[in-house]
Structure 1
Amino acid sequence: MAPQSTQRALSVYLYIPNIIGYFRIIINCVAFALCYSHKTLFAILYFFSFFCDGLDGWFARKFNQVSTFGAVLDMVTDRVSTACLLAVLSQLYRPGLIFLLLLGLDITSHWFQMYSTFLSGKTSHKDVKDKNNWLLKAYYGHRPFMAFCCVASEVLYIILYLLADEQTTSVLDVCLSTIKETPLLSLSFFVTLIGWAVKQVINVIQMKTAADSCVFYDTKRSK
């Protein structure tokens, strides 16, 4: 590789949003190392990493440092973080299979979406203007709506994580007891539950539409 090309590649690695991405990885590693021994500290670190997820996008647009590497780094960090949290919840609750299925859906949906994006020649997996589903368009087309669904899902998982104890391992029991708690907690839980449910529906829709795009690419290539 020529020195100039090497310098350009290095500059992309050192983009501010990408440095934030590296920082998020370190925070998550520390957080999950403490997840079974310091629950409150884990929740704080996890949420701080989640907050930084919004910062890197802002910096990317502010300083015109949008990059394919940064987009992939951001998605991989998000997916791995959520996957690890779901894996922890599968150990704290029964049936743990619920969280493992959610983990599988999350990874499969985003992998299909990312791969179909590159097959179609798009530069961003959030470009769904050519899709027919209104909910998918609303999710990626309206940042506040997407933020609500994402934040609600993560908050719900953290609430379940903080409420887990050795005596209560049933997901249903914890959900029912939380709803019966103080109005503020029950309202917060209900709102996050709505956002979480919408995001899971979107994950299924995204997986199906992305799979259709892959099949369309195959049929077009075979002609």
Structure 2
Amino acid sequence: MAINKVFLFVPNIIGYARFLFYLIAFICHSLGSWQLCIGFYAFAFILDEFDGRAARAYNQSSNFGAALDMVADRSATAGFCLILAQLYPQYLLFFIGAIALDISSHYYLIYATGMLGLGSHKDSSEWTNNGLMRLYYGNKTFMDLLILGNELFYILLYFNFYLTGGEFTINDFNLDVWQLLLIFCLPIYLLKQSTNILQLQSAAQEIAKIDLNDRH
């Protein structure tokens, strides 16, 4: 039986490579090589920028590719949060909450997108009434900034566990370079979590609205 050519689209091959590099990163962490873990994880994250470019360059955008990209992102974030929960057991509930919010908000958004008959979850800027959500899905630069800040916050937490940098004193508080960078990224991280909450709320309301109209 012939293989569906969609599976061999260039952006989808990049997606498979991302999965592989994320898996290698997690294996490296389990084997005690944190440097290789963060290296492979960061490389896989950077590749996310190129699958979209490849889809546009080769005219190979596909629903399968969009789903693959979404699953790769959610799986990677969940896996890395589990690693951080292992490193920072006192914040276990925080990381559990972050995983649950990330997965549930994107699932609801995808579900609402399908019910509305839209081609992509990024088209949600057309139906949401929330200004932040419209900005997030309507402005790629803003979206990329929040996604980068979100991942960078987790990566810095990983570095903070294994490395110590030069110390700074701010109002009698001693902070090393990683902690200072974490404080800098924290507002962007919190803003990204806010978009997840609003995304979940907007999608849930839209689904319930469709249910209500169907009942009528």
Say whether 1:87 aligns with 2:98. no
**What is the CA-CA distance between 1:186 and the residue it aligns to?**
5.4
Match of 1:22 in 2: 16
| Offset from partner CA, 1:26-62 (integer Å, 9 cap, x none) | 1111110111411111111001000011100111111
* Structure 2 unaligned residues grouped into runs of 5+: 163-172
CA distance in 2, matches of 1:159, 1:151: 12
Residues 96-135 of structure 1 mapped to structure 2, 5 A cutoff: 96-128=92-124, 129-135=126-132
Amino acid at match of 1:118: G
Match of 2:206 in 1: 213
CA distance in 1, matches of 2:161, 2:185: 17
Q: Aligned pair in 2 of structure 1 residues 51, 179: CA closer, same or farther (>3 Å)?
A: farther
**What is the CA-CA distance between 1:88 and the residue it aligns to?**
1.1
CA contact (8 A) 2:160 2:179 kept: no
Amino acid at match of 1:137: R
Tell me the TM-score normalised to structure 1 length. 0.86
Match of 2:190 in 1: 197
| Offset from partner CA, 1:51-91 (integer Å, 9 cap, x none) | 01110011111111110000000000000000001111111
Amino acid at match of 1:217: I
Amino acid at match of 1:20: I
**What is the CA-CA distance between 1:188 and the residue it aligns to?**
3.1
- Counting matched residue pairs gives 204
1:32 aligned to 26, 29, 33, which one?
Answer: 26
* Structure 1 unaligned residues grouped into runs of 5+: 166-177
Say whether 1:74 aligns with 2:69. yes
- Counterpart secondary structure, 1:180: strand
1:53 aligned to 16, 28, 48, which one?
Answer: 48
Q: Aligned pair in 2 of structure 1 residues 90, 119: CA closer, same or farther (>3 Å)?
A: same
Q: Aligned pair in 2 of structure 1 residues 44, 61: CA closer, same or farther (>3 Å)?
A: same
Tell me the TM-score normalised to structure 2 length. 0.89
CA RMSD of aligned residues (A): 1.9
CA distance in 1, matches of 2:28, 2:133: 36
**What is the CA-CA distance between 1:189 and the residue it aligns to?**
2.4
Q: Aligned pair in 2 of structure 1 residues 24, 42: CA closer, same or farther (>3 Å)?
A: same
